[in-house]
Structure 1
Amino acid sequence: MTTYSYQVFADYFQVVVMDEVSEEDFASLWTGENSEEWMIAIGNSTLGLGTLRNADVLLNVHVEPHEPAYSIDEFDHVIEASIHLPSGDLAIMGGSESLSVARRIKVPPGSYRLLYAVSGIETIQSEYEPAEDVYSLFIWPAKQKKTTLVKHWKASRIQKS
């Protein structure tokens, strides 16, 4: 496993993760039925990772050789989804940043499964104040599968898509 840690300005309450050659409009991805509720917008080769603060946030990206073992108790919010990375050049940027300043991670081209997990939600006092929230993305090579809400930070909101 390789882990990358980035401070990203989550402008518009999101961090964008995409294949560098993707031409998807990530703003339009937030129109899905569960996007805002589940804190994720999913395209074919682009993700919008929702955050609870419109500020600099810590994003840890874990590139795994296979599905990671984890305890659901470690996180407040967990989503499983898929992304296709045709070039293998993963770009990570804030909601208003341009691709030219994106952080980059090289992975083999192909289909990936991912786990988007959020912890430290209880430390957030307001959307602009410093907090200990951490946004984690685990990716590993795998076939595409249905998006699943595993755990919602508001426990009463669990539903399957």
Structure 2
Amino acid sequence: MSGTLGPAPGRIAYAELDVFAAYGSFLVQDDTARPDTSRAFITDLMNNLVATTDGAISVGTARRRILPVTLDVRTEAPEDNLDDWDHVTEAGLRITSGRLVVSTFDYRTAIPRTTVPPGDYTARTYASGFDTISDDRIHGDDAYRVILWPGPTVEPRVLKRYPHLPIPG
């Protein structure tokens, strides 16, 4: 995975996952949340590769495949360099159950859960490898990293926009 991040000042949880991006996206969500994917949600996801609903953040992807996703929950915001990343977003997430799920509307017990303290988090999502995606969007070396830390549930925003943004779906 390309991209560099500053050292983690404190780690709460960490997981390297293979996540199926069924509709060109995946969810980072509280285990009890069941996202409402309204028209506005889908529009935000398509335009910015990030959207939120109660208890969940949706992350847009360049392909509909099983993709590498690194989940890193820290005690503080990362000090990072965005230069090595194609697209970076930020959003807020409220976790009430103390369990975090990264999937695409898949709540089976076989899907890994990551234990985190309940509370409000800020999430920063990084994507790399967009220039490696084939025209049919089947092949590529895209990878995703999600870093959460205790903080305000900020509105979704793009910190760095990929100039040829792939549209999920």
Task: Please state how far the C-alpha of 1:67 moved relative to its aligned partner.
Answer: 0.2
Would you say the 8 A contact 2:57–2:91 is kept in 1? no
The alignment of Structure 1 onto Structure 2 pairs a total of residues equal to: 153
Match of 1:86 in 2: 96
| TM-score, with length taken from structure 1 | 0.85
Structure having the larger proportion of residues in helix: 1
State how far apart, in whole Å, the 1-side matches of 2:55 and 2:35 are. Answer: 7
State how far apart, in whole Å, the 2-side matches of 1:44 and 1:33 are. Answer: 16
Would you say the 8 A contact 1:91–1:105 is kept in 2? yes
CA gap 1:3/1:119 in 2 versus in 1, 3 angstroms: same
What does the per-residue CA deviation read over 1:82-127, in whole Å, with 9 as the maximum and x for residues that have no partner? 00001121011135x3343322100000000010110111111132
CA gap 1:19/1:138 in 2 versus in 1, 3 angstroms: same
Which of 79, 83, 90 in structure 2 is aligned with 1:73? Answer: 83
Would you say the 8 A contact 1:15–1:51 is kept in 2? yes
Structure 1 residue runs of 4 or more that deviate by more than 6 Å after TM superposition: none
CA-atom RMSD, angstroms?
Answer: 2.0
Any stretches of 5+ residues in structure 1 without a counterpart? 157-161
Higher relative contact order (CA 8 A, sep 6+): 2
State how far apart, in whole Å, the 2-side matches of 1:101 and 1:16 are. Answer: 16
Would you say the 8 A contact 1:29–1:48 is kept in 2? no
State how far apart, in whole Å, the 2-side matches of 1:60 and 1:94 are. Answer: 15
Task: Please state how far the C-alpha of 1:58 moved relative to its aligned partner.
Answer: 0.6
Match of 1:19 in 2: 30
State how far apart, in whole Å, the 1-side matches of 2:42 and 2:19 are. Answer: 24
Any stretches of 5+ residues in structure 2 without a counterpart? 1-10
State how far apart, in whole Å, the 1-side matches of 2:33 and 2:113 are. Answer: 14
